[in-house]
Structure 1
Amino acid sequence: MQVSVVSANRNLIGLRGPDPDDSYIAPFLVRDVRGAISECRPFFIRMDPDPMPSCCAGAKSIAELTKTKRDEKELCMCLRYIVQLHGPYDPKRLALLGGNATLNSLPSFI
């Protein structure tokens, strides 16, 4: 069973109490998102001014799995978690990827 990132990390992100929707299942796994955006690291850490086409394609493939606001929030939390694992990054770059129409609904959550 897939455990949602937000549900699994409620204490880490400052949420308290039981998850109001324990039956929620994320439409993706963290490892899938990590693989999909693996080519985005140079863009996130400002080594490249623009994301590579493979970065955009990977991000788009994951974004297409989101159908609800909860899915979008889960994806944003997952993305933040993943990019932080690789050291310092520019959080504005994550939102810029959305501005490039790849993750167009995500910048409001980031």
Structure 2
Amino acid sequence: MRTPGSQEAAWSAKITSSSGEGGGTVADASLIGSTGVVIVATRGSNGSGEVLLETGGTGETFLAWSTTPLPKGEQVLVTDVRGARTVEVEAISEFGADSAGKG
């Protein structure tokens, strides 16, 4: 006999842990080193922005935090993952030209 709500809980767990293609988690460390572009400016410690990253061959948006404000259009490197769909980024220019090819 199925417990009421058990299937709903299972679906919820799958949705929050799967990124779709490939079945990996969107909050996993594989995002570290990825590159992308700021689509909503970050405000440094005053607030997050939004970045577009290529993951699994498709573009996905993530909330993005940075130590300094970053303008829309800035090319960024993911330096850490804070949780589901939230990353920490730095401007690629801060790492030099060698980092630009990663991701």
Q: Per the shorter chain, which TM-score range?
A: under 0.3
Structure having the higher helix fraction is 1
TM-score by length of 2: 0.25
Bigger Rg, structure 1 or 2: 2
Structure having the higher strand fraction is 2
